[in-house]
Chain A
Amino acid sequence: MTTLRLASLREGPTAVLARKEAILRDSTGLEYQSFARSSHAFDYNALMGSTGCTIEKAREIQERYGVGRTPMVELRNITELIRKHAPEGQGARIFVKDEAANPSGSFKDRRASLAVYQATKLGYPGIVAATSGNYGAAIACQAAKENLPCIVVQETFDSHGLGQPEILEKGRRCRAYGAEVLQLTVGPELFAVSLALLEETGFFNGSLYTPFAIQGIETLGWEIVQDMHRLTGKDPDMVVVTHAGGGNLTGTARGLKEAGAHTTEVVAASVDLTGLHMASDTEFNRKSFTTGHTGFGLPFASWPDRSDVPYNAARPLRYMDAYYTVTQGEVFFITEALAVLEGMERGPAGCTSLAVACVLASQMPREATIVVQETEYTGAGKHPTAQLQFARDMGIDVRFGDRAEDCPGKVIAIPEHWQQLDVTEVPLDRLRRSYLQKTLQRERPLSAEDIDFWAEDLSCSPRWISAELNELGQKIGTSS
């Protein structure tokens, strides 16, 4: 029996945050600094290769934990409905990978299984995960299979103790798998709490952003290609990924490439929560989506290393071909459509990418195929009825309406008709520019190696990087 005091937090969050590098090294077994190549660049391939885990090995581990090999389902009625309204000859076939069939109800079991495997293999006495999402439930679930003690740290409440219903449900699920759940009020100091816990317990850091957590998702991309070859005889033309922290997109895209699908377009989809600050005590409960939204999607694309590890293994701009947003109302509409037209009652995460897929399908030829790469479980707290009632309780105007009327934190406009669905494109160059601006704020010297690294990391030409640096008044060999 241990009395946990988190005594190291008495002096405030800054002291423990200053010890971040050492705590992360000890709690992941990864020598992050060995991957550094210059003051900005690091060897991404070496980082990913450092685990020694291949897709075959990941599949073997996941089979042992009951993860993956989920059904690929064609959405025939939704495709038919799209074709009724699409220009002649258009309306791509839509398929969905039913990831809700994983043990804890989402694709997050894929990343959690590898993290738990690694923690067990290295002999850690337990695992800590800091997440309000399905990942907590997945870590708790996979840890249960190894009888590994598990602590989940969740951002749950506002300062009045009011909890977002979806997060409360996820907390319940973590407890159901035997985890200790620490539920915090809003704020980024959660990271300091997580570090202090890692330090005090000596547990493994089940971060979402280690190479293991990303490699666990590569099997999803790989399975998509096998499924689509079996069902259609070819690679999918497009895979739409609900995007938040970037791991889902990175892992899926890497798996697609590993399986040889080099021409498949990888499209990111997020719910638009523009205007809501993620660390605001008063805005925390004014959103109806707790993940898959722009509050994570934009900052994690344009600054992946803001995460809880020195080098984030999730680097979405390396693999993203396009990025679209939809409104909260549109996702609720599509969630209903998936239930009543396809007999699949599922949670909001995969429905975000489905909403985007439905709009893009109408602009693609009938022979084309789109894969929506995940679904998640639904239930009390996560269901649209629960979310919309909570929104109304918070004073948000929920009504029928067009996407133009939707205003995050104020109005949720639910479409009445299929034809009202649309998407908003996020220009990738804007994200690339923002990435460069943020990285230059670190005020470290620039080298030619950095330009090549950024060109790879942002999937653009070194020439574009040089032109942008010029624009920002930066020169190689000088300190930024």
Chain B
Amino acid sequence: MSRAAKGTWVEIERVVFPAQQRLTNIPEETRRTPMTMRLCGFLQEDAMEIGCIVTVETVLGNQWQGVLTRIEPTPTHRFGPPVRELLHIAPALRQALRQEVDPK
């Protein structure tokens, strides 16, 4: 496994509330899980692996501790592949706009 050097931009995760501390008026499936928090910052220690407890310093200069989850995290959201149902809308609308409608 690759090790991240000090100063690398990384993501950490920390538990905010363990399951037993969660509010009682929330759905059971949520209450069974801990509330966790992820954030990114510059790694403060050297040669750290995913799963290690580390400290990061954020862009604001705040220091947070947590478990190292991703090294140089890349955004995972995209545009996605073409969706057939959407592709049919444009020609249908253009044709509808051209079409003469019988006067009512």
Q: List the interface of chain A (C-beta within 8 A of B).
A: 1-4, 6, 9, 12-14, 77, 80-81, 84-85, 87-88, 126, 149-151, 156-157, 159, 161, 163, 165-166, 168-169, 172, 175, 178-190, 192-193, 277, 279-282, 332-333, 336-337, 339-341, 380-381, 383-390, 398-400, 414, 416-418
Contacts and interface: CB of A to CB of B under 8 A. Distances in A.
Given A281-B33, A416-B88, A380 B77 contact: yes
B62 A3 contact: yes
B22 A187 contact: yes
6 contacts: A87-B104, A169-B75, A193-B16, A340-B90, A340-B94, A386-B80
Contact of A185 (B21, B33, B94): B33
Contacts of B40: 175, 181
Nearest to A280: B27
Interface string B27-44: 101101111111110000
Interface of B: 13, 16-17, 21-23, 26-27, 29-30, 32-40, 57-64, 69, 75-83, 85-86, 88-90, 92-94, 96-97, 99, 101, 103-104
Contacts, number: 180
Nearest to B14: A6
A126 B64 CA distance: 18
A332 to B, nearest CB: 7
Instruction: Name the 3 nearest CB pairs between A and B, nearest first.
Output: A389-B80, A381-B77, A159-B33
A185 B36 contact: yes
Contact of A12 (B17, B27, B92): B17
A168 B57 contact: no
Nearest to A378: B79
A280 B30 contact: yes
Contacts of B39: 180-183
A388 B80 CA distance: 8
B61 A1 contact: yes
Contacts of B16: 6, 9, 184, 189, 193
A277 B27 contact: yes
Contacts of A400: 85, 88
B63 A337 contact: no
Contacts of B103: 88
A186 B30 contact: yes
A373 to B, nearest CB: 23
B77 A169 contact: yes
A4 B65 CA distance: 9
Instruction: Give the one of B35, B37, B59, B93 with max A CB within 10 A.
Output: B35
Given A187-B26, A188-B23, A399-B85, A416 B92 contact: yes
Contacts of B38: 156-157, 161, 182-184
A384 B17 contact: no
Instruction: Give the one of B62, B85, B88, B94 with max A CB within 10 A.
Output: B85
Contact of B63 (A1, A77, A183, A186): A1
